[in-house]
Structure 1
Amino acid sequence: MTEVAERANGTPATGADEVVRLEAVRKVYGGSRRGVAALDGVTLRLDRGSFTAVMGPSGSGKSTLLHCAAGLERPTSGTVHLAGADLASLGERALTRLRRERIGFVFQSFNLLPELTVVDNVTLPLRLAGRRPGRGAAEEALERVGLGDRHRHRPAELSGGQQQRVAIARALITRPAVIFGDEPTGALDTGNARAVLELLREVVHEAGRTVVMVTHDPVAAAYADRVVFLSDGRIAGALNRPTPERVAEWMTRLRSEPAAGAEDAALGARGTGTVRELW
């Protein structure tokens, strides 16, 4: 397709300030002999100030790619570099510190603690890291996401879209190098999904953050600068300046639907993790 402006492995043709790099990443579930590869030799670079959507059929490796890139899982082989650090060289304590300081997370289920106020949910990553939030930092983050008047509310008092904006404020509080989103609009109606996607674009284009978002929705993917497509654990191609129609065409071609692979079974077993596991 003429819209594909990148090499098949998903590496941008032009260089920029690199934030995340995966080199020949392979992730096998079920043991080395009878295991199935959820990722099979993925090489990918994510640049500073970019918004990348990751798409593919069920079981193609989307969430496994995100979890390996974010240091939530270690690959079976290959290397992952994030913000200049080789994740394989880090012990669990150092890896946890890197996630707390350099990564923001936004997931479909919001992962807010119901007993905490909005402002306490936002500052949670800092408190778990033993850091005191700067004066007004949480309020500033909430103002940025349009919730400056909801500091003392609890999650149950907010709509789904508002809860997801709290999750974005929480992701921004540490001024991360990259924000990872796994289906961040999957639980939202169309209007709230649009508001969250516009906010993520603003985070990229005005604040210079890097956003990586797994999604199944061509409309959501079209908010990104680039869409990377996975199939059977490998990068099948990449699309610059996506539109919903072009993304849908790609997905139609990829859905000669192989049987769900290792990733589906693994995700069913592990879920997305608790808030404290993420930080």
Structure 2
Amino acid sequence: MNGTQDPPAQPVVHLESVSRLYGGPKNRVTALDNVSISLERATFTAVMGPSGSGKSTFLHCAAGLDRPTSGSVHLDGVDLASLREKSLTKFRRERIGFVFQAFNLLPALSVVDNVTLPLRLAGARPKKAVVNAVLEQVGLSDKRRSRPGELSGGQQQRVAIARALVTQPAVIFGDEPTGALDTRTAAEVLMLLRQSVDVVGQTIVMVTHDPVAAAYADRVVFLADGRLIGTLERPTVEQVTEQMQKLGTWSDPSQLQKPEHGVRR
């Protein structure tokens, strides 16, 4: 050994003093208020908070779908503010995956064509081995020629997850990805997301209102009134529920559990 240490790993997502304001001087709304956070690679982060807390704005700014009023967002080492709109669109297509509550599949296309659509839009030829591996990962190898209308809701969301995975993105952002699914199907989808972190080292950031869904994550980040007010490491359903109840009754945000550093799953 030479006594030197490896440099610390660079976070895949880093927000520094990010604020997002909407409206004019007379009707200004602060959707995000000076938020700073780093999200490490191969981790699963859930973002929670009451309605209007800034969850969706957080996701949109972190994913480059919206530009902050102030502060900076770095994703996979790139300062998103340095990219013009066309370059930002290309960057999102190549380095970011999205999974939404609505599956957003094209009904006329087969499963395999829906999955490979982002690659083809980017002018890339899908690699058969990668596509096959992703379809196997989400349990749809035998459905590759099916159309969305022939699939269950859970299967359609699996197609959406495969579409997000196929570009091998730096991070996948999910906005209530299990919101339209029944309890059992939601659990299957959440386990699939969890396995993509544990097995292939995917990074996932998921907005959710569901403590059960949040408990699949390594860390839960809580927002209120646009501010980051606390986190839970290795969360349980009971811990998340307790924190959300405190937020729901608008008790002092300082009661929320502060960041802890524990061994992640």
Tell me the TM-score normalized by structure 1: 0.85
The change in CA–CA distance for 1:32 and 1:88 in structure 2 (over 3 A counts) is: farther
What's the offset of the Cα at 1:257?
5.1
Query: 1:184 corresponds to which residue?
Result: 177
Q: Which residue pairs with 1:46 in the alignment?
A: 39
Question: After alignment, is 23-32 or 240-249 more displaced?
Answer: 23-32
1:111 Cα deviation from its structure 2 partner: 1.0
Percent of aligned positions that are identical: 68
Counterpart of 2:97 in structure 1 is: 104
Note the C-alpha offset of 1:136. Answer: 3.3
Aligned residue among 7, 15, 18 for 2:11: 18
Counterpart in the other structure of 1:65 = 58
Q: Using CA pairs under 8 Å that are at least 6 residues apart, name the structure with larger relative contact order, 1 or 2.
A: 1
Amino acid at match of 1:246: Q
Distance 2:55 2:232 in 1: 16
1:169-200: CA deviation from partner (whole Å, max 9, x where unpaired):
00010100100000000000011100110010
Q: Please, what is the CA RMSD of the aligned residues?
A: 1.2
Instruction: Please state if 1:141 is matched with 2:138.
Output: no
2:200 partner SS: coil
SS at match of 1:175: coil
In the TM superposition, 1:76-155 aligns within 5 A as 76-155=69-148
User: What's the counterpart of residue 245 of structure 2?
Assistant: 252
Q: Give the drift of 1:233.
A: 0.2
Per-residue deviation, 1:30: 1.2
Aligned to 2:128, the other structure's residue is in SS state coil
For 1:114 and 1:138, the matched residues in 2 are separated by: 19
Partner of 2:27: 34
Is the 8 Å Cα contact of residues 57 and 257 (structure 1) preserved in structure 2? no
* Structure 2 residue 222 is the aligned partner of structure 1 residue 229: yes
Is the 8 Å Cα contact of residues 130 and 166 (structure 2) preserved in structure 1? Answer: yes
Structure 2 residue identity aligned to 1:124: L
- Structure 1 position 141, deviation (Å): 1.0
TM-score when normalising by structure 2? 0.90
Structure 2, unaligned runs of 5 or more? 1-7, 252-265
Shift of 1:20: 0.4
Q: Which has the larger radius of gyration?
A: 2
